[in-house]
A and B are shown apart, each in its own frame.
Chain A
């Protein structure tokens, strides 16, 4: 057989290996060059979905912001006890009537506390969450705090002055923030913020339970 034919067959065989090799590499390695739509179908339609961009509006967002002062249904603003944690300018010492304190509320509160609060305050509330640990490490850098880090350790929720706070004050701190802590009004629903307050109260009791209560709890 002439050499040229043998070489051509071998070359074709080798070339045939290239596409599978490329595809195998694509499958095993993430990269920016995808997705590749061979058949477009109607994957890209001239319409706007949640959190997409719309060049027609000045701010470029497809989702419009509510008009300032707009009140959504069910978001009545005239219940300072439920929405602010205050009654006649004083911190509420009782839970509002909308909140029924029971085991389900505490479970919900624990779940929400662990999502939103434990990152800084720690799972047990001692102000030793993972974000705090990292921030402290950035502060302790030998050449000074990294990238302008200025961190103050979050409050230990078991300090006497914190444990003495009425429920309304804790609710207000979660809602509007306090000192370095941002407010969580936008991130956590009102009912869930009250659930967290209930759980924080239970957490504080658990770490400083009076002797009698402890004996009662352990049969």
Chain B
């Protein structure tokens, strides 16, 4: 009668298990940190809008200033989505019969708003103020990316609290003159020296708050 003998390869089991036990937690930490980060789960949100409006055409090719449509951005916390009238300033005459503009024409006739899908949404407990930022030298592109190159707008930044705080703790790399706010191609770190950007901190009296209540109410 033959006895059961562990085969020779079973000697590998113990070191193998130890290795697996060491690697598995590292793997789990990596997957959670990398995969569940807002950079993965939040950034890159690109919904299909009811009207295929192209920022790449209007803001990019035609070079329209962001404020032509988002004209409340310098005065209020909310950078308004424009009323349909703003579209119709031009589109009563330019491509009025385009099938892409059917919803816009409909909205213009009935006064019903177009159901744009919000791309940049914060938690409802956060109160971001656009005016406070654009009037102190934080450009559109710093948070929204190169919208002038986006055929369909997507969320370029994670808009997470850690991401906000990065800049609130050290705003200097992102500062530009207020006159360049809507210049999407402007890169503060290439255009201005460190000293010039530091001077902007004094000029615009920038003291970014890290208090909870600065943003959360």
Cβ distance A38 to chain B, nearest Cβ, rounded Å? 6
Chain A contacts with B in 12-34, Cβ cutoff 8 A: 16, 19-20, 22-23, 26-27, 29-32, 34
**By the criterion CB–CB under 8 Å, are B123 and A19 in contact?**
no
- B96:A38 contact, CB within 8 angstroms: no
Contacts of B41 in A (CB 8 A): 26, 34-38
Q: How many residues of B contact A (CB 8 A)?
A: 57
Does B211 reach chain A (CB closer than 8 Å)? no
Q: Is B209 interfacial (CB 8 A cutoff)?
A: no
Q: Pick from A16, A22, A32, A182: contact of B89, CB below 8 A.
A: A182
List residues of chain B with CB within 8 A of the CB of A138. 94-95
Q: In the bound complex, do residue B44 and residue A27 qualify as a contact, i.e. CB atoms below 8 Å apart?
A: yes
* A interface size (C-beta, 8 A): 54
Task: Pick the 7 closest A-B CB pairs, nearest first.
Answer: A148-B97, A30-B154, A147-B95, A23-B35, A30-B46, A45-B124, A147-B98
User: A30–B45 contact, CB under 8 A?
Assistant: yes
Interface check A4, CB cutoff 8 A: no
Q: Offer 6 A-B interface pairs, CB within 8 angstroms, sorted by A.
A: A20-B34, A27-B39, A41-B123, A49-B124, A50-B77, A53-B115
Considering only residues 10-56 of chain B, those with a C-beta below 8 Å from chain A are: 12, 27, 30-31, 34-36, 39-48
The residues of A that contact B85 with a CB separation of less than 8 Å are: 182, 186
B185 within 8 A of A: no
Given contacts A20-B30, A148-B96, 16 further A-B contacts (CB under 8 A): A19-B31, A19-B35, A20-B35, A23-B40, A27-B40, A38-B41, A43-B124, A47-B124, A50-B76, A50-B77, A59-B113, A60-B112, A149-B95, A181-B89, A186-B85, A187-B86
Contacts of A37 in B (CB 8 A): 41
Q: From B90, B113, B154, name the one whose CB has the most chain A CB atoms within 10 angstroms.
A: B90
A51 near B124 (CB under 8 angstroms)? no
| Cβ contacts under 8 Å, B78 to chain A | 49-51
The reply to whether the CB of A124 lies closer than 8 angstroms to some CB of chain B is: no
With a CB–CB cut-off of 8 A, which chain B residues contact A51? 78, 80-81
Task: Given A59-B112, A115-B68, A148-B95, decide whether A29 and B62 contact each other with a Cβ distance below 8 A.
Answer: no
A166 to chain B, nearest CB (A): 25
Residues of A within 8 A of B199 (CB): none
Is B208 an interface residue, CB under 8 A from the partner?
no
Tell yes or no: A163 within 8 A of B by CB.
no
Smallest beta-carbon distance A182→chain B, Å:
4
A34-B95 contact in complex given A19-B31, A42-B125, A51-B80, C-beta closer than 8 Å: no
CA distance A43 to B118 in the complex (A): 14
Least CB separation from A134: chain B residue: B62
